[in-house]
Amino acid sequence: MRDWPGREHVETLRVWPVLVETVMRIEAHPHLFVGVFLLGSLSRGEGDAISDVDLVAVTERGRWDAAWQSRELLSSGALVRFDRVEGGVGGHSWLTPELIKVECLIAARGGALRLRGDVVVLVGDESLPEDFERTAPLTREAVDAYAADLRARGEISDVEAAYGDLIALLRRELRGPS
């Protein structure tokens, strides 16, 4: 796994062992995956005690179905898993026994995935992100609206919704009174 600005901070977080283990699991299947991207706060070195792990496991075109069918290799030992497929990109998420959420998109190289914001190539060719469309990062409001839409459509399990609510409450508590 490559170094990146901010890694030193991420290594101090409780998510670090989960990040390392998940990347190693992806790397253990080179017939399925050609790269791993780190996204979100950890990619910027801004994670905190309640950060989740946001990854993309990249597969070659023509291997996506096999990679998706093998997704539970990545989340072995999870308490619960949450899967969602939209527009040719699979979202495989899980909660670890330590209650750390891992969100791992499974996307084919050059496929429908749009990369938003900071991307760190942890494994694979450094130029791999060039195979994907890049767009501006989503605002917090856009992320919240997307989550609300998924909830309204009944596409988020009760456990995933409760976990999201808990994290939102913890964030408010950590920020203190406004």
Predicted confidence (pLDDT) per residue in 112-159, tens digit: 999 999 999 999 999 999 999 999 888 878 888 888 898 899 889 999
And the tokens for 52?
């989740």
Q: Is the pLDDT of residue 175 over 70?
A: yes
Per DSSP, 105 falls in state E
- Whether the predicted pLDDT of 176 surpasses 80: no
Distance of CA 68 to the CA centre of its chain: 15
Question: Kind of pairing, strands 53-59 and 101-108?
Answer: parallel
Please name the residues in contact with 84: beta carbons below 8 A apart, sequence gap of 6 or more.
90, 91, 93, 150, 155
CA distance 109 to 62: 9
Which residues does 139 contact at the CB level (< 8 Å), separation at least 6?
A: none
Paired sense of beta strands 89-95 and 80-86, if any: antiparallel
Q: Which two tokens stand for residue 133?
A: 């469309």
pTM for the complete prediction?
A: 0.93
What is the pairing mode between strands 80-86 and 53-59?
Answer: unpaired
83 DSSP β-pair partners: 92
The reply to whether CATH 3.40.50.300 applies to domain 7-133 is: no
Query: For the chain, which residues make up each domain, given as ranges?
Result: 7-133, 138-178
φ/ψ of 55, rounded to 5, equals: -130, 160
What are residue 83's phi and psi, to 5 degrees?
A: -120, 145
With contact defined as beta carbons under 8 Å apart, do 60 and 108 qualify? yes
Per-residue pLDDT tens over the stretch 81-123: 999 998 889 999 999 999 999 999 999 999 999 999 999 999 9
Instruction: Give pLDDT, residue 148.
Output: 86
Nearest 5°: CA angle at 18, between 151 and 94?
A: 25
Checking if the pLDDT of 177 tops 80, the result is no
**133-135 and 114-116 beta bridge pairing:** parallel
Among 8-12, 41-45, 93-97, 172-176, the least confident range: 172-176
- Report the mean per-residue pLDDT for the chain: 93
Residue 156 DSSP label: S
pLDDT value, residue 140: 78
Other Cβ atoms less than 10 A from the Cβ of 157: the count is 13
